[in-house]
Structure 1
Amino acid sequence: MHPITNIMNFQELHKIEDYKFYLDRAFKESKKKGHAIYLRSNGDKTSRIRTAEFEKIKVFGNEIKTQFDVITKNFPSIDSIPEFYQELIRNVLDYDKLKKSLGAIAWASQQTMLLTEEFQRKIKHTKTENEIKKIMNAYYGRASSVVKQIKENLSYVEEARRKMKEFPTIKTDLFTVAITGFPNIGKSTLLSKMTPAKPEIKNYAFTTKGLNLGYRRYGLYKVQFIDTPGVLARERKNIIEQQAYLVLKYVANIIIYVIDLTEPYPLKMQEKLLKELKQHDKPIIVYLSKTDILPKDVVATAKKKYKAYISLKELDKKIEKTINDQTWN
């Protein structure tokens, strides 16, 4: 496994096949190379077979090693990736099982090469075609057994890859503004006004099925905006809500909390969630959505109560000031 930069892209992880695929590929390459060597080699028949079979063992072992090394080297080193992804993986997957499975694949790669070297030495000393045949059968049997032993490990790593492929691609090294609040209260609309992003916006709860991302510049700084799925004030969270929580915990530098005064969710519930967000110890900017359809006195009272913002221009200035305060201190 290897470390990955702060720009995560699990979509590039290649599919892990079942153990039969790797065995079939190794046998095919081995047979092809052996045949070519036999046709080119000199000497008596036994000598030519010995040379060809020696090469077949080498090709078979190298093919298994190459394929398994690609899996272990390309898969992210869980302990080296940003904390957001570390905890997301632990929430979604069996972390210990994944680590053991990758370790088992690395073991199979190493074990296959040890067998390859052992049987190459043995075949060098053969005198008859029958001896060569016995050694080849023994090598293929033992090497195939090693590969077969990790079939469940290959299967679990592929299961993990499929789940990780659905993870959001977040730039964890960028200054980040997280937009959060209850479902269907205008978070995605706000993102579309603050950045060029065009998230799906519909008039029903839980429209945001994942994390919507947008980017814009504030002076010298490129800023990442993340519209999190609707967050409910409850202990047990589904996987999408877990992603939102982890963004707030590990990625966000500023939190914009959207309050909807039309109360699709009671204000007491929205206030409770606002209070819970303060545990993250990060700047929280309250924004009031849908104020254009409410009486001015209701908006004015709420603006004062929550020290909130209602215009995009005011909100923009507050964000820029907070960014400057954080980056220069």
Structure 2
Amino acid sequence: MIFEDLPTTPTSEELIDKAFSRAARAGKAKGGLEAQQSMLQTAANIISDNLENVVTAWPDFEYEDDVHPFYYELADAIVDVDKLRQSLSEVMWASRKAREIHEEYQPKLRKTDVDTARKHRKQAFARLADIVEQVDDELIYINKSRNDLRDLPEINPDEPTIVVAGYPNVGKSSFVNDVTNARGETASYPFTTRGIGLGHFERDHIRYQIVDTPGLLDRPPAERNEIESQAVSAIEHLADCMLVMIDPSAECGYPLASQLELRDSIAAQFEEVPVLTIANKVDRKDVWDESLTDELDADYTMSVETGEDVETVLEAAVEAVDYEPKLPFEG
């Protein structure tokens, strides 16, 4: 996952302490003017290199090759990508300024006496410290963003993906567990009340992801907060097929009419991908509301409880995805 290897970002105090303590050791190894020059070079290099490394460790959010739209939207829902990019830009500015200060003062330490050189070196140190302190808030925000993003479980946006939606208790997680190795496998995201169910299965040597998103696609859009809505936008970049699961028996606790309204809103939002309506709990037809059968207009029926037609639904989802792997020689 693109965020999992991000290094810890130092605070301004930690970086200044590191740079100046290393500079002091470098100065002790030499004498006279050479000691002052070595101290300045060491401090400036450590500050500039560390700040630059903070920036280059992050992917470039401007390029889709670095950050898939799914992860871009996901990151933006969690940390505010624009603010993060601005913070990274400020830190890179500070890295360049540290090098400029070194280039400005180093000539002053060559053809002079030691006391004057020491005075110039101290002035340079003060300016270096000031530059780092100016970006302290940015360093703190970058590290917070790193902590918020690095432990996100991996969902591969390049794998064909089936997303299961519908109200709670309609059988979504049972379906995901039944058709995949997902039992106990959940992905914790900051904007979900429960872990996202994530599983995998193979057909014709192709690996498929199947995802259940409790807390996001199990309620009407009007009930989602801004972060949740943006997370749903991220899922739009992920889904190759939507399975909207319906419980016609309404034993889930939600009237069939409400479930169908949610289905229609999901279909409207995910209009770029196939959306299949799946009526679960066909073994409970004795409590179906027959007056709404025509309105239900299910593409497929099944019972996760008994296993009836579960495989049929999965095969229909695979067919709807219509995934063709890219061959190496196609470029």
Q: Same fold (TM over 0.5)?
A: yes
Which ranges of structure 1 fall in alignment gaps of 5 or more residues? 1-7, 39-47
What SS is found at the alignment partner of 1:229?
coil
What are the equivalent positions in structure 2 for 1:59-74 lying under 5 Å apart? 59-74=42-57
Q: Where does residue 22 of structure 1 map in the other structure?
A: 15
By percentage of residues, which structure has more helix? Answer: 1
Q: Deviations over 1:136-172 (max 9, x none)?
A: 1101011111111111111221222232235442211
Q: Where does residue 89 of structure 1 map in the other structure?
A: 75
| 2-structure distance, mates of 1:184, 1:208 | 15
Number of residue pairs matched?
305
TM-score by length of 1: 0.83
TM-score by length of 2: 0.83
What are the equivalent positions in structure 2 for 1:27-46 lying under 5 Å apart? 27-36=20-29, 38=30
Moved more, 247-256 or 22-31: 247-256
1:98 aligns with 2:91: no
> Residue 171 of structure 2 contacts residue 245 of structure 2 at CA under 8 Å; is this kept in 1?
yes
> Residue 210 of structure 1 contacts residue 240 of structure 1 at CA under 8 Å; is this kept in 2?
no
What SS is found at the alignment partner of 1:217?
strand
What are the equivalent positions in structure 2 for 1:174-323 lying under 5 Å apart? 174-199=159-184, 209-230=194-215, 231-238=218-225, 241-242=228-229, 245-263=232-250, 264-279=253-268, 280-281=270-271, 282-295=273-286, 301=293, 305-310=297-302, 311-323=309-321
Letter in 2 for 1:137: K
> In structure 2, do the counterparts of structure 1 residues 303 and 194 end up closer, same or farther at CA, with 3 Å as the change threshold?
farther
> Residue 181 of structure 2 contacts residue 199 of structure 2 at CA under 8 Å; is this kept in 1?
yes
| 1-structure distance, mates of 2:229, 2:195 | 11
Tell me the CA shift for residue 175 of structure 1.
Answer: 0.8
Q: Where does residue 163 of structure 1 map in the other structure?
A: 148
| 2-structure distance, mates of 1:244, 1:138 | 49
What SS is found at the alignment partner of 1:235?
helix
| 1-structure distance, mates of 2:162, 2:81 | 29
Q: Where does residue 42 of structure 1 map in the other structure?
A: none
> In structure 2, do the counterparts of structure 1 residues 147 and 105 end up closer, same or farther at CA, with 3 Å as the change threshold?
same
Q: Deviations over 1:209-241 (max 9, x none)?
A: 232221111103211111111421132424774
Tell me the CA shift for residue 93 of structure 1.
Answer: 3.1
| 2-structure distance, mates of 1:54, 1:297 | 84
- Aligned partner of 2:96 among 84, 104, 110: 110
> Residue 279 of structure 2 contacts residue 298 of structure 2 at CA under 8 Å; is this kept in 1?
no
Tell me the CA shift for residue 192 of structure 1.
Answer: 0.8
> Residue 77 of structure 2 contacts residue 231 of structure 2 at CA under 8 Å; is this kept in 1?
no
4+ long deviations beyond 6 Å: 296-300
Which ranges of structure 2 fall in alignment gaps of 5 or more residues? 303-308, 326-331
